[in-house]
Structure 1
Amino acid sequence: MRATIDRLRGGEDEDQPLGLTLLVAAIAAAVVFPLSWVIVTATEVERARAIDLLTQETTRDVILNSLLLMGAVTALSILIGVPLAYLTVRTDLPFSRFWSVAVSLPLVVPSYIGAFAFVSAFGPQGEFHDLLAPLGVERLPNIYGFPGAIMVITLYTYPYVYLTTRAALLSFDTTLVEAARTLNQDRLSAFRRVTLPHIRPAVAAGSLLVALYAVSDFGTPAIMRLSVFTRQIYVEYHAFGQDYAALLSLQLLAVVLLVLALEWWVRPDDDIASDQQGAGGGEPVSLGRWRWPATLLPAAVSTLALVVPVWILGLWLVNAESGRRPSFAFEWSYALNSVTVAALAALAAAIAAVPVGYLAGRHDTPLSNLFERTTYVGFAVPGIVLGLALVYFGARANTVIGPEIYPTLALLVFAYVVRFMPQAVGSIRTSTLQVDPRLVEAARTLGDAPNRAFRRVTLPLIAPGVVAGAALVFLTTMKELPATLMLRPTGFDTLVTHIWRAQASAYFQYAAIPALLLIVISGLSMVVMLSQERMGP
């Protein structure tokens, strides 16, 4: 026992609490446990059949389409996000503060809402076709397949690259660029040799998020009729092809792990820092005669990503009464269900994240770091795979345990916690690192037990981080689509399920109200977040 305690030591002066460590280990095990059911199901497939399924033409097309989609979206997101970040932070772009917010807001629009809005706008019989028909335009370019999927996912994921790159530019010491210019380096050379190495880790981090989103997105490829992993898994799930769905899920997990490994490999080993931080002290780069034309880039991106869907949703809202179908009518119970399940998920995720984030922030040991990283597995795993794993687990558990586990609200909330708890863990860990350990030591010297000292001192100080993490889980849960579709109890309709049902039946107008509600709630959160950030010049 003494050897075990020695291994759990969290520092030179303080042991890592055994009870807390065991609790965090149990939480980490619960997070990764559902994935074991996919592995078990896949290994139960007869070897010859597994080889036949994995080598058939459909599988090859799915793999190729998924990889091409991920690569194209990631590359385009870099080509859009990095220039936008540079323009809004380092140049004298007109109305840079406005554009900083405008080009960030596409992140709050769920990509599946953007997808069916673009289909309604640019489809064969879309709104733009009707507008251009009097001019003799008989047919618009086909939006389905790769073109539409790449465009839509890029428009709603490039902000990941933009925001991480912008944060790096805001912390950049601009005197380094000025020094390079004094050494007869032109502006392009100074950017390539000085600025680019500094922002490369941020670009890589944002690109990782884009790649993971692109390969795990379900709604957009389904709407755009592109056969990728997520769509094929969902089709096989509904066609009772559990063995093929499990094998595809394993392949998708392999792609996700490959992306994570690639990001780790390209990430630079050394941090690039200087004694002075912040872009605010440097003079903005003058765009000269290109100052006003440069606004065309953020204006075009913002118009496509924000104005087009809002315009389409507005048209649907106006036309919702025509051809009314009672079965698709919006009910406020959908919003109530969404808020209820999101609140339950946020509460459960915060409760589970507190011990994980506290242990990682208070005791920097390999074991605590391992448990913290393990909780991030659910966030990296696509929602369609997590949903499938929990369907397998719940269906088998129903035959062993008396009360039904699947489909229940408890299983749905558990899926949300597994998927989004890392968002709360990161916030709580950061808050814990900011707590002065001497305050806790003072409480202990006054006779408080460790648990009482945590409740009286640490918990009130990390409360803002707990609330912020819970709020982020709440907002993300509101938009989650595949796990909700697969795990929701019978008759439990939410905003996202109503949106999906309406678009699947091509009654887009009945998706207007729930879609606008989702965008407004998410948009307010983004505006509040950006208002707290130190804006660029």
Structure 2
Amino acid sequence: MHAPQHTTRARPGARPAGSSAPAGRRRAGSSPPWALVVPASVAAVFALLPLGYLAVRSLERGPGYAWEVVADERTAVLLGRSLGLTAAVVSACLVLGVSLAWLTVRTALPGARAWSVLVTLPLAVPSYVAAFAWLSAVPGAAGFTGAALALTLVSFPYVYLPVAAALRGTDPAQEEASRSLGFGPVRTFVRVTLPQIRPAAAGGGLLVALYVLSDFGAVSLLRYDTFTRAIHTSYRASFDRTPAAALSVVLVLMTVALVAAESRTRGRAAHARTGTGTARPSVPHPLGRLRVPALAWCAAVTAAAVAFPLGTLGYWLAVGNSATWDPARLAGTAWTTLGVAAAGAALTTVLALPVGVIAARHRGRAVHLLEQAAYAGHALPGITVALSLVFFAVRYAYPLYQELPLLICAYAVLFLPVAVAATRAAVLQAPPVLEEVARSLGRSPLRVLREVTVPLAAPGVAAGAALTFVVCMKELPATLLLSPTGTDTLATRLWTETGSGSFAAAAPYAAALILLAAVPSYLLGRHRT
């Protein structure tokens, strides 16, 4: 039996010899079926809803006033600071994510399965908890250095998870052929392995960039001015929403530019398996003298990203007393958090599925616009998305005002890219020839989606849903604004107690939030091993 092979298509429309269809996306001229276009368009319109609010608010006092805000020198400073922080965090996350993925998947690292789980656990640590931990232990960590450190340590799993999945899904035959031709491990990694994992790394890097641009908690605690902090300050300081709306428009344009850059970085090549449809397991590379440094690297990252925040929380729990504990309130808050996060993850996954399938299987300007639209809301600060939904509910859907469905919709707008990226990556790994065979047997596009595409991509879609569930639990600014009166989540209680300086009282909510978020993070890491 021959080992399954990968085919790489370097230009649209090219077909391998003897093949009836390309191995990656469909022909550039093919159109996605209406069964996908309609729900994908609904998801795009849903994600673009906050932009309508921004258009109304930013032009409320005329284009001239909005331009004065955008052209102000402070806006240029905020742009430089935001882009500088994003570049630093994305670069560090790519180094951490790719190196850890390669060590845990392709090498004979001792305890690789355990390390695979441990390096996903930072997903359970909210950025504001990590920021608080570092600030309380190292007061001088405030500013750019502290913000970059805290955001890197909580967001590098967004790169690790898709890269590790890509490494497991690619056939090692090409790497073995490269080594047999005399190329060393470094050159083989650069020339063979890296091109195959580039789409996954680029997608993960994009999620990190959007996460950094939209973060509010860490930059606020560490007193580093970015667009999100400036927008929040503007909303709180004045009834005039125009300056904040104009700054949010700049943030959206930055998001569109990042999505376009990621699309170019992803390249036109597509990698999919042909033959049996399953990759032969790779033989782990021996580490030799690098064994101890590799273990030290994994241990250092895990200690900084997981052990340190947990140790800080343990200290504050020990400092507190019985007066800071209210088990009944803590349990009720945790149950509410689980409920709204699960609902948000379910809605987000349903909206993301058609967008991810179209982005993976089709090309064209319309497809590109749909994908960009899905990413538009993620870079908006949570407070902007929340206010846009309040604006919509008060005018057009008043029964939703101050109700949980509005908060769940905000989660879907904010975190749609998380599910879209996971779905797209999973569909790209699935052999499209099976879908084409089903179509040739008379199956409708909707039936092919239900019976072939979704089952093949189910593990990746489930991973995206788990990631969405985690980030919904941790979301802060939109939850602060949209939670019904008297309804608290762990994030809002934590923020309230921290804002009043009651760190010992905040510690139980922070610990509960991390423990609950650690469960899907652990399962996700265990599933990927």
Please give the TM-score of this superposition, normalised by the length of structure 1.
0.77
State the Cα distance separating 1:320 from its structure 2 match.
2.1
Q: Answer yes or no: is 1:59 the counterpart of 2:75.
A: yes
Aligned to 1:120: 136
Q: Answer yes or no: is 1:520 the counterpart of 2:500.
A: no
2:147 partner amino acid: A
Pairs aligned (count): 495
1:531 partner amino acid: R
Q: Is the 8 A contact 2:44 2:373 kept in 1?
A: yes
Q: Percent identity among equivalent residues?
A: 34
2:296 partner amino acid: L
State the Cα distance separating 1:38 from its structure 2 match.
0.5
Aligned to 2:197: 199
Q: Report the Cα distance in structure 1 between the residues aligned to 2:361 and 2:190, rounded to whole angstroms.
A: 39
Q: Answer yes or no: is 1:253 the counterpart of 2:269.
A: no
State the Cα distance separating 1:236 from its structure 2 match.
0.9
Shift in alpha-carbon separation, 1:327–1:194, aligned structure 2, 3 A: closer
Shift in alpha-carbon separation, 1:468–1:204, aligned structure 2, 3 A: closer
Aligned to 2:55: 39
Q: Is the 8 A contact 1:38 1:246 kept in 2?
A: yes
State the Cα distance separating 1:153 from its structure 2 match.
0.6
State the Cα distance separating 1:527 from its structure 2 match.
2.1
Q: In structure 1, which of residues 467, 476, 479 is the aligned counterpart of residue 471 of structure 2?
A: 476
Q: Answer yes or no: is 1:315 the counterpart of 2:315.
A: yes
CA RMSD of aligned residues (A): 4.3
Q: Report the Cα distance in structure 1 between the residues aligned to 2:80 and 2:292, rounded to whole angstroms.
A: 41
Q: Answer yes or no: is 1:294 the counterpart of 2:294.
A: yes
Aligned to 1:162: 160
Residues 40-439 of structure 1 aligned to structure 2 (within 5 Å): 40-123=56-139, 142-240=140-238, 241-271=240-270, 278=279, 280-288=281-289, 290-321=290-321, 324=323, 331-346=330-345, 348-349=347-348, 356=354, 369=367, 373=371, 376-377=374-375, 380-384=378-382, 387-392=383-388, 394-395=390-391, 398=394, 400=395, 403=398, 406-421=401-416
State the Cα distance separating 1:188 from its structure 2 match.
2.7
Q: Is the 8 A contact 1:205 1:263 kept in 2?
A: yes
- Of 56-65 and 169-178, deviating more is 169-178
Q: Report the Cα distance in structure 2 between the residues aligned to 1:352 and 1:87, rounded to whole angstroms.
A: 34
What are structure 2's unaligned runs of at least 5 residues?
1-30
Higher relative contact order (CA 8 A, sep 6+): 2
Q: Report the Cα distance in structure 2 between the residues aligned to 1:269 and 1:443, rounded to whole angstroms.
A: 30
Q: Report the Cα distance in structure 2 between the residues aligned to 1:94 and 1:442, rounded to whole angstroms.
A: 48
Q: Report the Cα distance in structure 2 between the residues aligned to 1:358 and 1:286, rounded to whole angstroms.
A: 37
Shift in alpha-carbon separation, 1:388–1:438, aligned structure 2, 3 A: same
Q: Is the 8 A contact 2:386 2:481 kept in 1?
A: no
Q: Report the Cα distance in structure 2 between the residues aligned to 1:28 and 1:196, rounded to whole angstroms.
A: 32
Q: Report the Cα distance in structure 1 between the residues aligned to 2:338 and 2:294, rounded to whole angstroms.
A: 41
- Of 356-365 and 218-227, deviating more is 356-365
Q: Report the Cα distance in structure 1 between the residues aligned to 2:319 and 2:53, rounded to whole angstroms.
A: 46
Q: Is the 8 A contact 2:255 2:375 kept in 1?
A: no
Aligned to 1:138: none
2:490 partner amino acid: L
Deviations 1:343-362 (A, max 9, x none): 443454466667x4799599
Q: Is the 8 A contact 2:107 2:286 kept in 1?
A: yes
State the Cα distance separating 1:43 from its structure 2 match.
1.9
Q: Is the 8 A contact 2:90 2:208 kept in 1?
A: yes
Deviations 1:200-236 (A, max 9, x none): 3332222112111111111111111000011111111
Please give the TM-score of this superposition, normalised by the length of structure 2.
0.78
Q: Report the Cα distance in structure 2 between the residues aligned to 1:262 and 1:297, rounded to whole angstroms.
A: 30
Aligned to 1:136: none
Shift in alpha-carbon separation, 1:30–1:262, aligned structure 2, 3 A: closer
Shift in alpha-carbon separation, 1:172–1:457, aligned structure 2, 3 A: closer
Shift in alpha-carbon separation, 1:462–1:434, aligned structure 2, 3 A: farther
Q: Report the Cα distance in structure 1 between the residues aligned to 2:350 and 2:158, rounded to whole angstroms.
A: 27
Deviations 1:386-413 (A, max 9, x none): x424424534763x56946544433222
> Secondary structure of the equivalent of 2:484?
coil
State the Cα distance separating 1:243 from its structure 2 match.
1.0
Q: In structure 2, which of residues 472, 477, 490 is the aligned counterpart of residue 495 of structure 1?
A: 490
- Of 403-412 and 489-498, deviating more is 403-412
Q: Report the Cα distance in structure 1 between the residues aligned to 2:87 and 2:142, rounded to whole angstroms.
A: 18
Q: Report the Cα distance in structure 1 between the residues aligned to 2:177 and 2:439, rounded to whole angstroms.
A: 46
State the Cα distance separating 1:438 from its structure 2 match.
9.5
Aligned to 1:128: none
- Of 503-512 and 229-238, deviating more is 503-512
Aligned to 2:11: none
Aligned to 2:22: none
